[in-house]
Amino acid sequence: MKIILHLGAHKTASTHLQYNISLNQDLLEKNKIKYFRFHETGSLRGETIELRRNLQDPTLVKELTASIQDRIQKEIKNYETAIISYEGILGELNQYGEEKIYPDAEELAGLYREILAGHEVIPVFAIRNYHDFMISSYKFCLKYDGINHTLNDYLKDKKNIHNRWSSIIDVLNKTFDHSPKIFTQEDYRKNWQEIIFEIIRLTGKEIKFEELTFDSTSQNVSGSAESLDFYYTINRFKHSSPQFKGKARIHKFLRKESSRLSSTPISSFLKKHKEEEITPLNKFEDYKEEVFRLSEKFGLL
């Protein structure tokens, strides 16, 4: 079976893409295409997370790969082709303390080759400018994971971040049957409907653009640039004064009301903590050159 495997990266509009593909589920199934994302398939997402966090345990890795393979097989049974999506296949969203993005991507790609053995796999991978990726990752982890690292601390080990996307894509090219299909988050902002259509076309089915349903309203964003200090201060508050009994309740309130509070006078108090100026991790022009090289080698969706 031909499988279109959308496997990353995080913070490249994955939720928006997944939502819009799901809007066309009836049309896809009519054409014998199975679409699913790991989040909505039993414990599949949880097993994927457990797999990437236990790579040093061969016994557990063997058990998890077998279980993931079995769950995927059950989902795609009786279909002619499939589109599968999960942006966390190659690594964690939280990049704190890592020397490079998705440090285990090479090993994980090999495991998913085994999991999908016997199928014709076309990997789809999205990229974005490294500094923007890291800032977006930091904001998301501040809001939902409760980390309390300063932004500089979060970024400090990423000075040699250049060309990491290229090395990951090269691995995908060597690992799977087909060369990877690539798109950039920057292009997705402008041409998201066309990119979604091209992903569906990879199945080989004759589906017309006019048949597809699109919705631009459902987007998963980690917040505006101004929210950075806001969320950072909330997390510093959470991890300070451990004996303060009302801290958890206040923290929960601040998170729940964050969108409203960040535009009111209270935000002035919450943004008091300022860090030293942040040095960009890379020049956007260098990233554009990398995108051009990847385009020359693999093409872009």
pLDDT truncated to tens, each residue of the chain (301 aa)? Answer: 999 999 999 999 999 999 999 999 999 999 999 999 999 888 999 999 999 999 999 999 999 999 999 999 999 999 999 999 999 999 999 999 888 999 999 999 999 999 999 999 999 999 999 999 998 898 888 777 767 777 778 888 776 788 999 999 999 999 999 999 999 999 999 999 999 999 999 999 999 999 999 998 755 544 555 566 666 666 666 665 555 555 566 656 666 665 565 555 545 544 444 455 677 888 899 999 999 999 999 999 9
Question: Taking the complete model, does pTM exceed 0.85, yes or no?
Answer: yes
Kindly list the strands in the beta sheet with 2-6, ordered across the sheet, starting from the edge strand earlier in the chain.
33-37, 81-85, 2-6, 120-127, 181-184
Q: Looking at residue 23, what is its pLDDT?
A: 96
Q: Looking at residue 249, what is its pLDDT?
A: 67
Residue in 257, 250, 220 with CA at minimum distance from that of residue 235: 250
Length of the chain: 301
Task: Give, in order, the Cα–Cα distances in Å from 62 to each of 90, 91, 111, 115.
Answer: 17, 18, 9, 10
Q: Looking at residue 269, what is its pLDDT?
A: 47
Q: Tell me whether the omega of the peptide bond preceding residue 9 falls within 30 degrees of 0, making it cis.
A: yes
Q: Looking at residue 241, what is its pLDDT?
A: 54
End-to-end CA distance of the chain: 22
Q: Looking at residue 12, what is its pLDDT?
A: 96
CATH of domain 2-130+161-220+282-298: 3.40.50
Residue 107 phi, psi (nearest 5): -70, -40
**Range(s) of the chain covered by CATH 3.40.50:** 2-130+161-220+282-298
Task: Give, in order, the Cα–Cα distances in Å from 200 to each of 160, 252, 260, 280.
Answer: 35, 40, 38, 36
Q: Looking at residue 153, what is its pLDDT?
A: 82
Q: Find all residues with CB under 8 Å of 249, minimum gap 6, and list them.
A: none
Task: Give, in order, the Cα–Cα distances in Å from 38 to each of 5, 72, 98, 254, 298.
Answer: 11, 9, 25, 30, 27
